[in-house]
Structures are given as structure tokens and as C-alpha cells.
Amino acid sequence: MTRAPILGRFRHGYVAPAALLVAGLLYAPFVWTAYLSLTRYDGLAPPEWAGLANFAKLFDDPVLLSSAGNTLIWVVGTMALPVGLGLLVAVLSYDIRGGAWYRVPFMLPYALSGAGLAMVWSPVLSHGGVANLLLGVDTAFLQKAPHNTIAMLLVWTWQQLGVNTLLFVVGLQSIPKGPIEAARLDGASGWRLFRHVIWPLMRPLTAVVVGLALVASLKTFDIVWVLTQGGPGRNSETLAVTMYKETFVAGDYGYGSTVAVALTVVAGLASYLYLKRQVR
């Protein structure tokens, strides 16, 4: 017996507008970007075929190496701080009376956009700014690498911690009570209960949180652009910032597209490998 489609006979008609929009606004630009990555193009004159020259430059570009290094700091840092601390806050506040109130302060910064977040923190982290005054130090937090990337990562943590906490709390709430009660009756508690019972049961949700954080950290752009513009001397650039700078600041649309393609491949591959391992 075949099931009748939910939307009836006109189902293609219903889906088509969305499909066309996605194709037109996402896939077509992607194909165009992939083509541009194989050209020399300044955004004005017609693109000239360059073969793999831009990709060869990619592997010989010290800036790209430093951007890749900074992006790696963002990825690892995001896993350790917004995600790791988010899990910690969720676990510590989940089972206690009034726990939701403890989580509220972590949630509030999530209302800010990435650019807004950076605008708020700019006068704090700038030399002679609020952080210098409060800590009684004379440090320019946003100047030397890798301190500037770490400082921005802490700001990112300030914003992202709440939403990760919330997602983990949802995960904790969705765990069936049975196995936990059974484990408790068997004498499990604290770290052992978490490690061997709660953590494995949360795995589907953890996979989503980590997957989202992985992609978000790989494409880090707005906070870096507003706070340092990738500088000074390009030392805080991430791959996404390099892509933007090469394309729109230097006007090298061909090479900028190559960085975009490389970033897409890295993000796609990382997500695929991670999700393949986690979601079975």
C-alpha cells in the first residue's frame, strides 16, 4: 500500500517557490563563486581564466596560513568555552531549585547581533578602555596575536554561553528518567552518573550543539571585522575575514572566491566527518 502524499497532488507546486529561491539565491551564487575562483577578476573587467593559479597562491600565502591558525583557535576555543562551559552551567544549574534564574544572566547577551556585540566591546577592549581601567593594566588587548583572537573569543563566549546552556538544558530535560533512576539505585552519582548515563543519553543533542558551533566558529567574521578588521597587520584574520578582505578591500574577486571555496570545503568536510561519526 502506498501512502498518500500529505500535500496531495500539487505538492511540487507548493515546494517549487522555495526550491527556486534556494537554487537562485544559494546554489547559483555558489557555482558562480566556484567559477570565479578559477579566474582573475577585479569586479570590473570581465573575469579572465586563470586555471588553478589562485589555488596555488592559496598554499603559498603566509596570510592564509595565519588566518587558518586563527580559525583553528576559534574552533578549538568555541568547543572549550561557549560549548564546554555551556554544558557545565547546564549540568550545574539543571537539578537545583531556582536553576533557571541562574541561567538568565547567561542568556541576555544572546539578544545582541554579532556586530552589535563587537560595538559594545570595542570601547571595553580598546587601549585605555574600560578593561584597562578595571584591571589597572596598560594592555592593548586587541593588538598582539594571539591575544587579540583570545580576547575576541572570550567576548564570543560571553554571548554564546547562554544559548548553548539552554540547548543542553533542553537535552537534559528530554532524557528519560528511568535509566537515571535505575543508575541511582545501582549507586551511581555525581561524575560517574554523568559520564556513564547522562552524557550518552544526551548524545543526539550534543551532536547538534557541537555541529552548529563548529560551523559557526569556522565562519567567524562579524565580531573580528568590527573589533579589529583582522588587524593589526592582518594578525587576527580568520578565513572568513581573509575572504572578505581579499574580495572587497583588495578588489581581488578571483582570489577572494578561492578562499571562499576553500572555506566551504573545510566547513563542509568538518561538518560531514563530525556528523557522520555522531549521528548514526
Partner 1 sequence: MVRSRVATLGVAAVLLAACGGNGAETAQKKTELTLYNDKGAWSKYFEEMGAASKQSIGLSMKPTGYTDSAQYQAFIKASFRTNVKPDLFTWQTGGMLQEIVKQKQVADTTAVWQEAIKAGDLSQDLAPYYTIDGKQYCVPMNVAYWGMFYNKKIFDEHDLKPPATWEDLVKIAETLKQHDVKAFYHTSVLFSFVWFEQIMAGMDPDLYDRLSTGQAKYTDPGVVAVMEKWKELIDAGYFMNPGDKTDPGDVLKTGKAAMVSFGTWFNTSMTQRDMKAGADYGFFVIPNVNASLPKTSMIFESGPLCSLAKAADPDASMKYLKWWTTAEAQKKWAGIRGDVSANPKVTIEDEALGQVTKDAGSGEYRLVNRYFEATPPPILTAALDGFSKFVTEPGTYMEVLETIQKEADEYWSTHQ
Of the candidate residues 188, 229, 270, 274, the single one contacting partner 1 (CB under 8 A): 229
Check residue 26 for interaction with partner 1 (CB under 8 A): no
Residues numbered 88-117 forming contacts with partner 1, rule: CB under 8 A: none
Check residue 142 for interaction with partner 1 (CB under 8 A): yes
C-beta of 2 vs 173, nearer to partner 1: 2
- The CA dihedral of 91, 93, 95, 100, to the nearest 10 degrees, is -130
Rounded to whole angstroms, what are the CA distances from 39 to 35, 42, 50, 250, 263? 7, 10, 4, 15, 18
Check residue 12 for interaction with partner 1 (CB under 8 A): yes
| Distance from C-alpha of 206 to C-alpha of 71, rounded to nearest angstrom | 22
Residues numbered 31-50 forming contacts with partner 1, rule: CB under 8 A: 42-45
DSSP helix/strand/coil, 39? strand
Phi, psi of 37 (to 5 degrees): -65, -15
Of the candidate residues 29, 204, 233, 268, the single one contacting partner 1 (CB under 8 A): 233
| Distance from C-alpha of 193 to C-alpha of 201, rounded to nearest angstrom | 11
Minimum CB distance to partner 1, residue 45 (Å): 6
Q: With beta carbons less than 8 A apart as the criterion, state whether 89 and 103 touch.
A: yes
Of the candidate residues 249, 269, 273, 279, the single one contacting partner 1 (CB under 8 A): 249
Interface residues with partner 1 (CB under 8 A)? 9-13, 16-17, 20-21, 24, 42-45, 122-123, 126-129, 140, 142-144, 229, 231-235, 244-245, 247-252
